[in-house]
Copies of this chain bind each other. A is one copy, B any other.
């Protein structure tokens, strides 16, 4: 059975302006690879209602799971919950379970539970809350879409919680052969091995170091013994050592 598929949707003008570097996609990508879920696409869209609605609809139809990051705080530009609700035609309002969590938290902190903070309890009907051990304001899952915070520490905690509830496939393993050979001299043997092993994915990722050209040759697959064998064959074909 093929692995389940997934997409990442990052929401936020601050990523598109370059002010903030998105690190959540890479974190999710690593976690999904380990869990045996294939990340097939990632998108970044701006803080605009229609853009978010359209992306959520498209991605949730195309993939088994969609993970979103950003836009669930208390400020006016935090519109993700309403947009995701709209994508599924679900009513969105302050929900008792989320409000209770937040009210208790702010009471413990001696902070006012004002209207802005109540916005963080806006959850679509029918959604399941995702626990936020860092700053309490919950994420939520609705249909196959998991809505999480943009702050990396919170995002990481929420990804761990959600992944524990999903059934993955076989973890994708990889072996890397690092060579100081130009890609043009690698392409022949690499292409032949790729043809002979259609169940593996073989890629070449060139780099430049101290003026010399090299490449990381990465072989991916689910069978560790086969991976070792093919990377050995590749090393032999290129006349390099693989330890």
Each complex incorporates copies of this chain amounting to 2
Supposing A16-B40, A41-B16, A134-B208 touch, asked if A188 and B46 sit within 8 A by C-beta, the answer is no
Q: Is the CB of B77 within 8 A of A203?
A: yes
Cβ of A133 under 8 Å from chain B: no
Mind listing 30 A-B residue pairs with CB under 8 Å?
A: A13-B203, A13-B220, A14-B205, A15-B42, A16-B29, A16-B39, A16-B42, A17-B33, A17-B39, A17-B220, A22-B26, A25-B44, A41-B51, A43-B43, A73-B206, A74-B183, A74-B184, A75-B183, A75-B187, A75-B190, A76-B190, A77-B202, A111-B184, A114-B184, A115-B187, A115-B188, A116-B183, A117-B184, A117-B187, A119-B187
A residues neighboring B (CB under 8 Å): 13-23, 25-33, 38-47, 51, 73-77, 106, 111-112, 114-117, 119-120, 134-135, 150-151, 153, 172, 174, 182-188, 190-191, 194-195, 201-208, 213, 218, 220
User: How far, in whole Å, are A187 and B137 apart by their CA atoms in the complex?
Assistant: 15
- Taking CB atoms, residues of chain B closer than 8 Å to A111 are 182, 184-185
Residues of B contacting A134 in the complex (Cβ-Cβ under 8 angstroms): 208
With both chains docked as a complex, state the minimum distance between the C-beta of A220 and any C-beta of chain B, in angstroms.
7
The CA of A199 and the CA of B187, in the complex, are separated in Å by: 52
Inter-chain contact B43/A41, CB cutoff 8 Å? yes
Dominant SS among interface residues on chain A:
mixed
How many Å from the CB of A26 to the closest CB on chain B?
A: 5
Cβ-defined contact, A194 with B16, below 8 A: no
Chain B residues whose C-beta falls within 8 Å of the C-beta of A190 in the assembled complex:
75-76
Contact A204 B77 (CB under 8 A): yes
Q: How far is the CB of A136 from chain B (nearest CB, A)?
A: 11
A206 vs B72: C-alpha distance when bound (angstroms): 11
With a cutoff of 8 Å between Cβ atoms, the chain B residues found around residue A45 in the complex are 40-41
CA–CA, A220 to B12, complex, Å? 14
B44–A185 CB distance below 8 A: no
